[in-house]
Amino acid sequence: MALDDVKLTFLQNVSDLLEQAKKNAKTAVNLSMVYTYYEVGKRIFQEEQNGKERAGYGKYLLKELSDYLSKQFGKGFSVTNLKQMRQFYLTYRNDQIGQKVSDQFNNLPTVDNGRKFFLSWSHYLKLMRIDNIDERHFYEIESAKNDWSLTELKRQYDSSLYERILLSTDKDKVYLLSQEGQVIEKSGDMVKDPYVLEFLGLPELPEYSETDLESKIIDHLQAFLLELGTGFAFIGRQVRFTFEEEHFRVDLVFYNRLLRCFVLFDLKIGELKHQDIGQMQMYVNYYDRKVKLPDENPTIGIILCKDKNQSIVEMTLPEDNSQIFASKYQTVLPSKEELQRLLDDQI
């Protein structure tokens, strides 16, 4: 006999509680190991300093400690791993993270310098390889805020998210990236230029249509949502509306819960034309006047195009524009050197 809805809901709720408890327990164990590895790294460093007058003492110490711990606890304590723990301590012993972020995780302990750790050991192994301290802080904060897996962190780093946000954000907010991560307060804060869609697999195709691009995005919706950023919910594709007996379709419709507004996407595989901007303006006007609720914020329209002339965009849109944006997309990972050159040109 099939379970009724009430009973099924009860069973699912209990199951969800247990699943969350398992996740919390795993997270607690992972964090406990991160704090422990910091202390291990600290003691290795201090012991090496005590014996620094003895030639080769550090190398001998690590080998002896590795053998001893491996007999006691098994795998995980090779000389390489112990060096990583020492480097972890050296990287973070004088490092501080934004106080606002620390306060969000006020239940976590601190190490000797008052520092908190939020992520798994695997995350910090990746972060330690980022030389730029501001960039390293940004990825740590965003990983914690958005619960990025290690795979997601690597993808965001490989797609040069930090540099792309630097290119897109207001100059007076740049300093916040290393203190609070990406801060979404107005429409322009959430728009990237360029968007990187390497996960679509389109570079392998000699040519593709806008329908192909849209279908690939839907096939990889989770990855696309990650690329869009925080707070996006998918509403629909080819969403139709009728105005003056004419039918129109918006390629992709999302809702952003942080800004409390609809976000419309129009996809263009060629160069952006002023007619495309006018079309998006009409879509945005319709949603503002016919769809959004009175307490919701104005609709945002983003035209994703392969190429654009920024002068045409600026001349077509009003000077105080805060609703229509044109962003390039690329289907291969960007070169950090190329993005750095663009950043240098902005200064």
For 89-109, what is each residue's pLDDT tens digit? Answer: 999 999 988 777 777 777 888
Q: For residues 111 and 104, give the distance between their C-alpha atoms in angstroms, rounded to a whole number.
A: 17
The pTM score is 0.82
Q: For residues 338 and 97, give the distance between their C-alpha atoms in angstroms, rounded to a whole number.
A: 29
Q: Are 265 and 302 in contact (CB under 8 A)?
A: yes
Please write the tens of the pLDDT for every residue from 172-226.
677 788 888 888 888 888 999 889 999 998 876 767 889 999 999 999 999 999 9
Phi, psi of 291 (to 5 degrees): -115, -50
Q: For residues 81 and 182, give the distance between their C-alpha atoms in angstroms, rounded to a whole number.
A: 32
143-173 burial string, b = 16+ CB within 10 Å, else e?
Answer: bbebebeeebbebbbebbbbbbbbbbbeeeb
CATH assignment, 187-334: 3.40.1350.10
Rounded average pLDDT over 72-91: 92
The domain limits of the chain are 1-93, 187-334
What residue ranges in the chain does DSSP mark as E strands?
195-196, 232-243, 246-256, 261-271, 300-307, 324-330
Lowest mean pLDDT among 94-98, 261-265, 298-302, 338-342: 338-342
Under 8 Å CB-to-CB from 102, ≥6 apart: which residues?
Answer: 116
Closest CA to 227 of 256, 185, 198: 198
Reply yes or no on whether the pLDDT at 154 is more than 80: yes
Query: Percent of the chain, pLDDT > 90?
Result: 52
Residue 193 CA: distances (Å) to CA of 51, 63, 167, 300: 52, 49, 7, 15
Q: What are the tokens at 201?
A: 């697999």
Reply yes or no on whether the pLDDT at 270 is more than 50: yes
pLDDT classification of 1: cutoffs 50, 70, 90: very low
